[in-house]
Amino acid sequence: MLEETRSTVHGRAPKNMVRIPAGRFTMGGTDFYPEERPARKVDVGEFWMDEHPVTNAEFRRFVKATGHITVAERVPDAADFPGANPAMLVPGSQVFVPTEGPVPLDDWTRWWCWVPGADWRQPEGPGSTLHGRERHPVVHVGYEDALAYAQWAGKDLPTEAEWEYSARGGFDGATYPWGNEFMPRGKIMANTWHGRFPWENLRPHGLDRTSPVRQFPPNGYGLYDVSGNVWEWTRTEWTASHAELAEAVPHCCGPSHDQVTEEDRRVIKGGSHLCAPSYCHRYRPAARQGHAVRSSTGHVGFRCVLRD
Ligand SMILES: [Cu+2]
């Protein structure tokens, strides 16, 4: 697999990947959340980017080939959770459960429910399946799971700069991957939450959770689902602002930082189907969040890159 993918780089295009030209872009922004500041110019070399987030069908092939067991499927190590109720130290993951009505938006435990047995195969817990969701992005994957997939595929995870640059699709400085207007001529461009979060799901697109990749229009580079649907892991270590990274913008890379600890956080990008302007206006290329590497949820997935 690895050699096959590598060798195609210099010949024809790798399957379902898009060539992103080298360039300079404005990373971050000043109009929304503090962690996106400062906006600054960043150079990115050319690379290939997966056209869409890794799907359940693709992830299943990886698991079949490698026997990989995801973070959510492992029994948590008691040493990592001192004082935890032993009954809670079983495999599981965070599942979104809409509330009955309005709740304080500063308390995410109201709508995130830790469900024993929830994992990528059972996204809502025991009894749920992937049936009909083969083309949806895989979810409930931790950073190490994403990295393991990428390495198996002979690829890597993008840096935050690579992710943001490619998500912008050549629209430097625009709010969304397609421009500045959220719904140009009334058209829904991404799988995000419509209505008052986390209880009123108006579903104008008919979607409850994730959506099949490629359901919405691609960006200027031909990338799908860079906004909404699922957040995507990057390799970039989380910092509360870009300023802390200003000296060392990771174009790339060298060997991946494979060793992670329980407390480590990486940047996730793109927002998800649970982002609503009233709560979290993060379905924008500049938006970013830090996510604990071993924390898996039903709205975080990933896609890969390939560098020459
Ligand atoms: Cu959000």
Residue pLDDT, tens place only, 212-244: 999 999 999 999 999 999 999 999 999 887 765
CA pair distance 96, 306, nearest whole angstrom? 32
Residue 124's identity, in one-letter code, is: E
Q: How far is the CA of 281 from the centre of ligand 1 (A)?
A: 6
| pLDDT the model gives residue 241 | 74
193 Cα: distance to centroid of ligand 1 (angstroms): 9
How far is the centre of ligand 1, averaged over its atoms, from the C-alpha of 215 (Å)? 20
State the distance from the centre of ligand 1 to the C-alpha of 86, rounded, in angstroms.
31
State in Å: Cα 79 to ligand 1 middle: 31
For the chain, how big is the Rg over CA atoms in Å? 19
Count of CA atoms in the C-beta half-sphere (13 A) of 198:
21
Cα(78) to centroid(ligand 1), Å: 30
Residue 12 has pLDDT above 80, yes or no: no
Confidence of residue 11 (pLDDT cuts 50, 70, 90): low
Half-sphere exposure of 307 (CA within 13 A, CB side): 15
How are beta strands 231-237 and 300-301 bridged, if at all?
parallel
Element (H, E) at 4: helix 2-9
| Backbone CA torsion sign across 256, 249, 7, 157 | positive
Query: Measured in angstroms, how far is the CA atom of residue 62 from the centroid of ligand 1?
Result: 28
**d(CA 34, ligand 1 centre) in Å:** 15
Element at 301 (helix H, strand E)? strand 300-301
Give me ligand 1 centre to Cα 287, in Å. 9
Q: Which residue has tokens 């993060």?
A: 282
Residue 283 CA, ligand 1 centroid: distance in Å: 7
Report CA(10)–ligand 1 centroid distance (Å): 38
Which amino acid type is present at position 143?
Answer: Y
Mean pLDDT, the chain, as a whole number?
A: 90
Residue 142 in tokens = 């931790």
Distance 194 CA to ligand 1 centre (A): 12
Give the relative orientation of helices 143-152 and 56-66 as an angle to the nearest 10 degrees. Answer: 80
Share above pLDDT 90 across residues of the chain, in percent, rounded to a whole number: 82
Centre of ligand 1 to C-alpha 87, Å, is: 31
- Residue partners of 252: CB distance under 8 A and separation at least 6: 45, 159, 162, 307
**pLDDT tops 70 at residue 151:** yes
Say whether pLDDT at 251 is over 50: no
Residue 10: is its pLDDT beyond 90?
Answer: no
CB 210 within 8 A of CB 230: yes
Nearest-angstrom CA–CA distance, 166 and 227: 12
Structure tokens at 37: 């500041």
Sign of CA pseudo-dihedral 273, 276, 279, 284: positive
